[in-house]
Amino acid sequence: MPPLAVVDVGIATLNWTVFAGTLLLFVTNAFTIAFIAALVARIYGFGAHLSPQHTGWQLLLFFVALGLLPIPLGAALRQIAFEALAQRPVSDTISMRFPDACRPGQLDVDYAAKPIRIRAVVRGSDLASPSKSRPPPRR
């Protein structure tokens, strides 16, 4: 789905994480396309009438913007990596509380809540028989 459409979905559902993330992706895509198009145009000789000062300013602004774009993207990637690494132990712990035939389905972890809030959907045919469940691990 195009990022701008997902921005609208984020607004409609009042999900500000989706809104901000896809807006950042849209802006990054738009800037990158504009910068590369300008660079290719300069390579092919468009704007040859510009003075060396204009060319220098264009290059400076291009590299400053290119240097600033990775900052929010790196922060978002760090958050995604943290959540991916933290979700595995949560899923394993939930799996240990149910019989082997049961598997956790949807897993929602609210990292912003104090304490962290976990909601999970566990699917299986033997959910109601606690005698078959595995004991919790000892620490």
Distance of CA 48 to the CA centre of its chain: 41
Residues of the chain predicted below pLDDT 70: 126-139
Q: Is 91 exposed, middle or buried (0-12, 13-18, 19+ CB in 10 A)?
A: middle
**Looking at residue 134, what is its pLDDT?**
56
The residues near 25 (Cβ < 8 Å, ≥ 6 apart) are 3
**For position 127, what pLDDT does the model report?**
57
C-alpha dist (Å) from residue 81 to 17, 70, 86, 88, 101: 16, 16, 8, 11, 29
Q: What is the number of residues in the chain?
A: 139
C-alpha dist (Å) from residue 85 to 57, 61, 80, 81, 91:
43, 37, 9, 6, 11
What's the pLDDT at 86? 83
Whole-model pTM over 0.75: no
| Token code pair at residue 81 | 């990596």
Q: Tens of pLDDT along 62-79?
A: 888 878 878 887 888 888
In this structure, what DSSP letter does residue 116 have? -
- For position 138, what pLDDT does the model report? 60
What is each CA distance from 26 to 5, 7, 12, in whole angstroms? 10, 9, 17
Could you give the 3-state DSSP secondary structure of residue 106?
A: strand
Which pLDDT value is given to residue 137?
A: 59
